[in-house]
């Protein structure tokens, strides 16, 4: 989720603990700082896009990472707010940080909750990275939530909204499956929130010979297929997945596709993360270039834009 929504949730937790919206209140500072703290992994951007995306929502969003960073931040805050006590500050920092990880579970990128035991990123696929409804509920709580008669209604509203999002997702899945089954058999459909519209849902349909990606607009009742992606033969797909770029995509996303083409006499492999699309272009891509002996000549990770080229070590 976006940092403003995380900060709002941290402020709400601080208010529930009796804190005041002031820099002089150590509990409020602890919960708010904790709620935005996990995204400080953006510092990895200093070492490039690849390192940032590899680290993002990994250690810093795991239970182990939250504990370690909360201890460090709580100890530092103890020097500024000695009257509260270091243990209490550590606890409130951890609760704020835990709220960050839990809310991030609801969008498509997911979080590596169980690091280092597991590398799996967990996701509920319910919310966009910035959800206007959730944000407005947070803003409303800041202004009127302390009034007991509104607090319960706002909390219930947030729970109901998440349930509505779940119902929307499942309805979108059923509609996509029903429409695709008119032409295709054995359709398995994954549905994820759009990047820009709360009524749009992106989908990935798995078929025996191809994948179909597109979106469905529940408000306009419109389903649009963006791309039909045919599978490579199994040996070639396995060979490409075993390369350095294949391993990057295997760890980076649960939904990626590989295509091959011949360019200037060389075999070129294209990797695409199917989770995010900008218009009809996938957001995160990669390119493999092979020499005449089918050895990898270049492995390029291209996050956010095809013009951003991160050359991977192939030695």
pTM here is 0.88
Query: Could you tell me the residue ranges of all domains in the chain?
Result: 3-124, 231-311
Question: What per-residue confidence (pLDDT) applies to 145?
Answer: 65
- Count of residues making up the chain: 315
Place of tokens 């909750």: 113
Helix/strand/coil for 140: helix
- Per residue in 176-200, pLDDT (tens digit) is 999 998 888 778 999 999 988 999 9
Query: Within the chain, which residues score under 70 in pLDDT?
Result: 145-149
Q: Which residues contact 136 (CB under 8 A, 6 or more apart)?
A: none
Task: Please count the other Cβ atoms lying within 10 Å of the Cβ belonging to residue 115.
Answer: 19
CA distance 215 to 184: 17
Question: What per-residue confidence (pLDDT) applies to 147?
Answer: 61
Helix/strand/coil for 28: helix
- Per residue in 209-258, pLDDT (tens digit) is 899 999 999 999 899 999 999 999 988 899 999 999 999 898 888 899 99
Question: What per-residue confidence (pLDDT) applies to 159?
Answer: 94
């Amino acid at each position: 989720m976006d940092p403003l929504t995380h900060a709002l949730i941290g402020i709400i937790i601080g208010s529930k603990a009796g804190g005041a919206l002031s820099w002089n209140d150590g509990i409020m500072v602890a919960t708010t700082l904790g709620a935005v703290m996990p995204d400080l992994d953006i510092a990895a951007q200093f070492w490039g896009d690849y390192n940032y995306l590899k680290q993002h929502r990994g250690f810093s969003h795991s239970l182990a990472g939250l504990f370690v960073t909360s201890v460090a931040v709580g100890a530092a805050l103890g020097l500024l707010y000695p009257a509260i006590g270091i243990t209490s500050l550590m606890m409130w920092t951890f609760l704020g940080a835990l709220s960050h990880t839990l809310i991030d579970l609801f969008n498509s990128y997911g979080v590596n909750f169980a690091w280092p035991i597991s590398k799996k990123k967990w996701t509920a696929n319910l919310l966009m990275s910035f959800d206007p409804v959730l944000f407005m509920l947070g803003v409303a709580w800041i202004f009127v939530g302390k009034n007991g008669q509104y607090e319960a209604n706002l909390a219930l509203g947030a729970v109901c909204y998440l349930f509505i999002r779940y119902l929307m997702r499942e309805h979108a899945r059923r509609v996509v499956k029903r429409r695709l089954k008119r032409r295709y058999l054995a359709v398995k459909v994954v549905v994820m929130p759009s990047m820009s519209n709360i009524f749009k849902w992106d989908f990935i349909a798995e078929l025996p010979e191809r994948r179909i990606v597109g979106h469905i607009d529940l408000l306009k009742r419109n389903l649009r297929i963006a791309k039909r992606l045919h599978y490579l033969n199994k040996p070639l797909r396995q060979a490409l997945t075993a390369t350095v770029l294949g391993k990057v995509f295997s760890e980076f996303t649960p939904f990626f596709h590989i295509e091959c083409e011949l360019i200037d006499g060389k075999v070129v492999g294209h990797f695409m993360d199917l989770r995010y699309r900008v218009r009809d272009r996938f957001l995160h891509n990669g390119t493999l270039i092979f020499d005449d002996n089918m050895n990898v000549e270049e492995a390029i990770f291209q996050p956010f834009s095809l013009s951003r080229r991160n050359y991977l070590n192939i030695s």
